[in-house]
Amino acid sequence: MRLLRRYILRSVAGPFFFSLGACTGLLLVNQLAKRFGELVGKDLPVGIIIEVLLLSIPFIIALTLPMAVLVAILYGYSQLGADSEITAMRANGVSVGQMLRPALVAGLALAAISFLFVDQVLPRTNARLGNLQRDIGEKRPAFQMREQAINALGQYYILASRVFPGSGKMSDVQIFDHSAYDGRRVIYADSGLMTFDETGVDLILQLFNGKVHDYKTSEISQLQVTRFGHNTIRVKAVQNLFERDTTNFSRGDREMTTCEMMDQVTSSRRRATRAAGTRQDLARTDLRALMRISHSGVVPTIADTGKVSHCGAWRTFERAFGKLLLPEAAAAQNPVQNPIQTPLITDTTGRQTVNPTNQANQAMPVLTSIAEVTVTRDDERTSRTQADRFLVEIHKKYSISVACFSFVLIGVAMALRFPRGGMGLVIGGGLLVFAIFYVCLVGGESLADRGYASPAVAMWLPNVLVLLAGTIGLIRVNREFGSTRGGDIADLVETMLRPFRFRKREG
């Protein structure tokens, strides 16, 4: 049996690594095409471009790892069935469970590796990539002088009939200077030389054999002409150097680990509970004011027990792993929203009351304003929505990781049911399962973020559907197991269309 397990694992190992590399490469090329404009047009160092591409790979691997598992299982087991090796195993007393066991163990191992990768590596690379993209966004595009076109540089507009990019020389130059608030200046020159200063930021224009036309809006009838043999103009801040910002920006939900998001869930729920308690206190205070019932004591408030840290000992490993992976990565810090505090006022008897009525006007009680009640309600709703979004991301991490195990079940069931499916089964069946799984995952995430579905149900529903389909398929395969005759791609299409066909009524 050990030899059989090794043989089955070797049959799926090659397709797994090939499909993982192919899918990752295709999606990486897609990401490169999307970011080509912002990377190439700003004269960035080659190392920065390579770093952006490398930091984009973990996000792609998180998506392609379950896909590679399904493709490898479909190809490996269908190939074994097409070569009649599955039939030979059955003839020697090997059950479907024994054939499935090596792939299930490998799927469990890949699920654990995927969770560690998604929970520890992916958030840190996403945070670093986000900071790097912000720095790239602040970098100005590289300046290029176009000939026979107006080039805008701040308050200067430059027009040159000929531009020699290699040497920076220009001929027949016209510069329209709008820097003077009370007039305009036009500079004409037969030739010019364009260079940057030693910092590479300021543009220096050296003009030769020209004249300057000056006029003021207050004196339109007068025009001042100045001739020159050599004139130098410095245009500041034409380009800026690329600088890495070391500021620790606030992280989003996709840039946090599971433990950090659990802390945010607890904090958001506490804010929601405090806001709900404050709203109830305001309602009770208004009722007492309307019924002329004095307040008997201090308004009860929910104590804030401070910051809560989850995961316990796992945090030690998490911090050590973070320092080893990305030393400059910082822990997520989100601004804590202060709950709305209702002011307490002490009356002459020493008791604290909330919004007490004006004793000079007992006939008209003072009630809580609509705005204050609305703020507390919105604070409660926003806090609960934030908690749900963090819970969605937590469950999604687990769901994507468990998909490595779920795809093993349904992949083996499809491959054993249609052993002669070949590449049609791998491509068609794989795309069908991918589409159903990821459409349910994305749709469930959208519904859970809006509060229409539970985060746990929305994120785990795709896995439940795949596991049920795989389990039912394996049970049927175990009952109907026979030779490899049939079971090709035509049989797969026939099985998919069978529920949609009407049975003829017997006359």
Can you spell out the DSSP letters for 192-214?
EEEEE-TTS-SEEEEEEEEEEEE
In terms of domains, do 279 and 373 share one? yes
In terms of domains, do 278 and 211 share one? no
In terms of domains, do 17 and 84 share one? yes
Give the C-alpha distances (Å, rounded to integers) separating 410 from 70, 345, 429, 495. 8, 66, 10, 15
Residue 145 lies in a domain: no
Return the pLDDT at 46.
Answer: 81
Residue 314 lies in a domain: yes
Per-residue tokens: 501: 């066909």
Helix axes 46-82, 96-116, angle to 10 degrees: 170
In terms of domains, do 111 and 218 share one? no
Give the C-alpha distances (Å, rounded to integers) separating 359 from 143, 352, 356, 362, 364. 72, 15, 8, 6, 10
Give the C-alpha distances (Å, rounded to integers) separating 383 from 259, 275, 291. 18, 9, 33
Return the pLDDT at 450.
Answer: 83
Return the pLDDT at 141.
Answer: 57
Q: Which residues fall within 8 angstroms of residue 25, CB to CB, at 6 or more apart? A: none
In terms of domains, do 406 and 383 share one? no
Mean pLDDT by 10 residues, the chain (507 residues): 86 93 92 78 76 90 93 91 83 83 92 92 88 74 76 85 84 86 84 82 87 81 86 77 60 83 87 84 78 57 54 64 57 46 44 46 64 81 87 92 94 86 86 92 90 91 93 84 48 54 49
In terms of domains, do 27 and 76 share one? yes
| Residues shown for the chain | 507
In terms of domains, do 15 and 104 share one? yes
Residue 246 lies in a domain: no
Q: What are phi and psi of 357, to 5 degrees?
A: -70, 150
In terms of domains, do 384 and 422 share one? no
Residue 206 lies in a domain: yes
Residue 431 lies in a domain: yes
In terms of domains, do 48 and 117 share one? yes
Give the structural domain span for 197.
Answer: 151-235
In terms of domains, do 220 and 294 share one? no
Return the pLDDT at 129.
Answer: 87
In terms of domains, do 382 and 357 share one? yes
Please say which residue of 355, 389, 423 terminates a domain: 389
Q: Which residues fall within 8 angstroms of residue 340, CB to CB, at 6 or more apart? A: 275, 278, 372, 375, 376, 379
Residue 244 lies in a domain: no
Q: What are phi and psi of 80, to 5 degrees?
A: -65, -40
Per-residue tokens: 265: 């869930």
The closest of 278, 318, 267, 378 to 119, measured between CA atoms, is 318
Please say which residue of 389, 414, 431 terminates a domain: 389
How many separate domains does the chain show?
A: 3
Please say which residue of 330, 363, 389 terminates a domain: 389
Residue 287 lies in a domain: yes
In terms of domains, do 116 and 175 share one? no
Helices (H), 220-361: 258-290, 314-325
Return the pLDDT at 22.
Answer: 93
Residue 23 lies in a domain: yes
